[in-house]
Chains A and B, each alone.
Chain A
Amino acid sequence: MHLDHDNSPGIGSGSHHRQGFPPVVPGSRPLRIGIGGPVGSGKTALVAALCRALTGRVSLAVVTNDIYTTEDADFLRAAGVLEPTRIAAVQTGCCPHTAVRDDISGNLDAVEDLEAAHGDLELVIVESGGDNLTMTFSRGLADVQLFVIDVSGGDKVPRKGGPGVTRSDLLVVNKTDLAPMVGADLGVMDRDAARMRPGTPVVFLSLRGETGAAPVTEWVLAQLAAWQAGTAVPVAADAAVALGAVPAYPAADSAAGPAAAPAAASAALPTAAG
């Protein structure tokens, strides 16, 4: 089917198959993971923990989008968790959200440059500049994305929803060590998160605690194994959480769950088979 019936230059490619924009084949290039979430929720701390856990097992690189400086990139370089040549910083022109969603060119350039410089690369982590709960990565930039919130913003955050909470492939609730201090009820957060994103995983973390980032490391390794095996990576439950399809809020349990053990959520991590 041709868009043009005469021989004049066509504005379109003349094909309905969008041949200039083929779908990405899983495994054909390094997996790209996006990490989004509000400022200060622990994204950079998580990236550093992942680098520490994965070094020696996975060849990885990191792109940071700190809101107006190279602070995150400098932190990672100073932390010595990754060779400096595997860390790149992107300027976002006052719009951290635009740089990972509406116009991803700066990030794509950085990712492609890292891929070209490190032929063995298996995984690229892109940390967004901090934004609000509507933050999501374009699928053109991140194959899978996780969203990091923390308990100090209050236990209502998961209930507020927003694409970051509802559409991310993994929701991370960080800083559980602070829950008693800020009066955040982790049971409520766990239940609200499960309601807002049915069927997609949630993990509770304290990067200050003993287990550190272990559950996220496992999740990342599972995503990477699925990617490298060529199996489709799980896509966020878009359909289930489409407008109007949010399940009814369950009747509140009289006593909310214990403040320290939202086990139901963290147990439900997907496996490599996805």
Chain B
Amino acid sequence: MGAGLLLLGDSRLPAGGHAHSGGLENAVARGEVHDLDTLTDFLLGRLYGSGAVQGAFAACAALVAGPYALDAHGPWAELDTELDARTPSAPSRAASRAQGRSLRRIARAAWPEEPWTALGVSPHHAVVLGAAATRARLDEREAAVLAVTNTVNGPASAAVKLLSFDPIAVTVVLAEMAGHCDQVAEEAADAARTVHADGDWDRLPAWSAPGLDVCAELHAREEVVHFAS
């Protein structure tokens, strides 16, 4: 834990996250999120639906990457397929891959000696995040923390922009949620360790939040949008 965690967890990391609301824009458009309580509910859904899965995949990718050099022959394709299977909405898969592509661009520039091409051109965000985390001297639990917090921080900052919430109030919501994030990340990392030891990639966690898939699908059909997802 150190500067590497802050580097990859910084919302200013230029990896495209600012243009994604994680379904929040659609939830706002349909009036489902309109105040801090409904925002909190939405973020908890993100955390336990999406965050728990993203965290496990990031942790697993960190274990696959290994602490010393990225393993070009690791089961990257398997992780990719498994995460696809856990992301039923096509626009959500596209959003994950767009952010993965952007993060991979940064990782390649920062750690050029590593075989990033092994991950594919547009890998899922959580997978690149886990691999990049190891290059930033982080372990699988920290990789999970990054992925899990990312699933709530992005929509929270989108809420500030779309609903004119007081940014301090939204930070209070996130502060209250930090303990939950740590717990979800801990469990995600535990799950990833078991799966990694056995090589049973299909046993990675598969929590879902169908409401978020609906948001993603409806957002993609919307004519006027501010966010890419």
A→B interface (CB under 8 Å): 8-9, 11-14, 18-21, 67-69, 90-95, 98-99, 102-106, 108-109
Contact = CB atoms under 8 A, between A and B. Distances in A.
B136 interface: yes
Given A9-B67, A68-B225, A69-B224, A93 B110 contact: no
Interface in B7-48: 7, 12-21
Contact of B134 (A9, A20, A94): A9
A11 B135 contact: yes
B64 interface: no
A81 to B, nearest CB: 22
Interface of B: 3-4, 7, 12-21, 67-69, 98, 101-102, 105, 108-113, 134-137, 158, 161-162, 223-228
Nearest to B111: A13
Nearest to B103: A105
A32 to B, nearest CB: 16
B18 A91 contact: no
A190 to B, nearest CB: 37
A20 B108 contact: yes
B67 A106 contact: no
A54 B137 CA distance: 50
A102 B19 contact: no
A196 B58 CA distance: 49
A13 B107 CA distance: 10
Contacts of A105: 14-16, 101-102, 105
A224 to B, nearest CB: 26
Contacts of B20: 93
A-B pairs with the 4 shortest C-beta distances?
A: A20-B112, A105-B102, A105-B16, A93-B19
B112 A93 contact: no
Nearest to B110: A20
B68 A9 contact: yes
12 contacts: A13-B111, A14-B113, A69-B225, A91-B228, A93-B18, A93-B161, A103-B14, A103-B15, A105-B101, A106-B228, A108-B102, A109-B98
A128 to B, nearest CB: 14
A20 B111 contact: yes
A93 B158 contact: yes
Given A11-B4, A12-B110, 5 more contacts: A9-B135, A18-B109, A20-B111, A93-B18, A93-B226
Contacts of B12: 102-103
A89 B101 CA distance: 18
B112 A94 contact: no
Contacts of B136: 11
Contacts of B110: 12-13, 20
Contact of B225 (A8, A9, A91, A103): A91
A93 B14 contact: no
Given A102-B12, A108-B105, A92 B226 contact: yes
Contacts of A14: 113
Contacts of A12: 110
A93 B19 CA distance: 4
Given A19-B112, A106-B19, A68 B14 contact: no
A69 B222 CA distance: 10
Contacts of A9: 67-69, 134-135, 137
Contacts of B108: 20
Contacts of A90: 19, 228
Contacts of B135: 9, 11
A76 to B, nearest CB: 17
A11 B19 contact: no
B223 A69 contact: yes
Contacts of B14: 102-105
A68 B228 CA distance: 10
Contact of A21 (B13, B17, B109, B223): B109
Contacts of A92: 19, 226
A99 B102 CA distance: 13
Contacts of A99: 18-19
A108 B14 CA distance: 11
Contacts of B4: 11
A141 to B, nearest CB: 11
Given A11-B135, A99-B19, A108-B105, A93 B227 contact: yes
A33 B110 CA distance: 26
A19 B135 CA distance: 16
